[in-house]
């Protein structure tokens, strides 16, 4: 009987600890969300559309008559409302390029029934149970089918060239996408502060040291003109934004 009580005590204590840590995490996360500065829904540059979903942006790229999504947002109902503003038909989204699999980047995946989902091989561990994001909790996506991509891989759509860059740190498989050799979408690999490249909020990084090394890789990508982040808007002068980066 004493062993049973001991087990109950241990399990109860562990559950209480998980609850306390989860509440602390959510409170801290909420305070960081308030620092984020996503841009409003609209056309940012020609054929590139930002979709504001609370504290995060995802992006739509026009590819002929279709669209390519960079990530898939935080809340499905918000996404639907914002896409109506842009007059974008969900059925014309043919690809979703995931920068990573955190919940605020994947919530709208199943809104786009005709889209192939792409993510890096290194990110798959975040959704198949091999790697936890927080304590014992992992990530998940609403898709049983997805296409795994490699670092430096090039994907050609109808009118769009996509080059994939593995930039681990925020998550192990975080990925940037270079579109048509000039538009760079970084997800949470970095942030912009007063127009300058900075480390992403360390509280959310799984490995900030590795994330810093990845930023060093990002700022060396040639030909980039525009830089688009998930939480801090975009820059139309990549060289200027990246010029003062130091680890």
- The backbone torsions φ and ψ at residue 151, rounded to the nearest 5 degrees and listed phi first, read -60, 135
* Residue 213 covered by a domain: yes
pLDDT value of position 6: 61
Residue 30 CA from chain centroid, whole number: 17
* Residue 187 covered by a domain: yes
- Short-list 119, 241, 148, CA closest to 192: 241
* Residue 217 covered by a domain: yes
Q: Give CA–CA dist 125/199, Å, rounded.
A: 24
pLDDT value of position 34: 81
Q: How many domains does the chain have?
A: 1
Q: Is-contact 94 116, C-beta < 8 A?
A: yes
Range of the domain at 192: 35-243
- Short-list 45, 25, 7, 65, CA closest to 236: 45
Print pLDDT tens along the chain (247 aa). Answer: 556 656 655 555 545 545 554 565 555 567 677 889 999 999 999 999 999 999 999 999 999 999 999 999 999 999 999 999 999 999 999 999 999 999 999 999 999 999 999 999 999 999 999 999 987 788 999 998 999 999 999 999 999 999 999 999 999 999 999 999 999 999 999 999 999 999 999 989 999 999 999 999 999 999 999 999 999 999 999 999 999 897 6
Continuous H helices in the chain: 2-33, 76-86, 208-218, 238-243
| Sheet hosting strand 48-53, strand order edge to edge | 42-45, 48-53, 56-63, 66-70, 93-97, 116-120, 147-149
Distances (CA, A) of 105 to 38, 173, 208, 223: 13, 14, 19, 26
Element (H, E) at 156: strand 154-156
pLDDT value of position 58: 98
* Residue 23 covered by a domain: no
* Residue 28 covered by a domain: no
Domain with 91 in it: what CATH number?
Answer: 3.60.15.10
* Residue 90 covered by a domain: yes
* Residue 8 covered by a domain: no
């Amino acid at each position: 009987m004493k062993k049973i009580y001991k087990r109950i005590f241990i399990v109860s204590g562990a559950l209480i600890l998980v609850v306390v840590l989860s509440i602390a995490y959510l409170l801290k996360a909420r305070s960081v969300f308030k620092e984020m500065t996503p841009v409003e829904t609209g056309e940012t540059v020609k054929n590139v559309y930002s979709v504001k979903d609370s504290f995060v942006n995802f992006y739509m790229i026009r590819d002929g008559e279709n669209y390519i999504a960079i990530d898939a947002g935080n809340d499905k109902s918000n996404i639907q409302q914002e896409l109506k503003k842009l007059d974008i038909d969900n059925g014309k989204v043919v690809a979703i390029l995931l920068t990573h699999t955190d919940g605020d980047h994947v919530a709208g995946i199943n809104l786009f029934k005709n889209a192939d989902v792409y993510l890096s091989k290194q990110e798959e561990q975040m959704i198949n149970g091999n790697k936890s994001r927080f304590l014992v909790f992992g990530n998940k996506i609403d898709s049983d089918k997805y296409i795994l991509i490699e670092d430096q891989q090039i994907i050609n759509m109808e009118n769009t060239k996509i080059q994939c860059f593995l930039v681990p740190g925020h998550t192990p498989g975080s990925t940037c996408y270079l579109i048509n050799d000039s538009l760079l979408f970084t997800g949470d690999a970095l942030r912009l502060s007063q127009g300058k490249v900075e480390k992403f909020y360390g509280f959310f990084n799984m490995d900030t040291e590795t994330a810093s090394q990845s930023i060093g890789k990002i700022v060396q990508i040639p030909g980039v003109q525009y830089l688009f982040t998930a939480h801090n808007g975009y820059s139309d002068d990549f060289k200027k934004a990246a010029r003062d980066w130091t680890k």
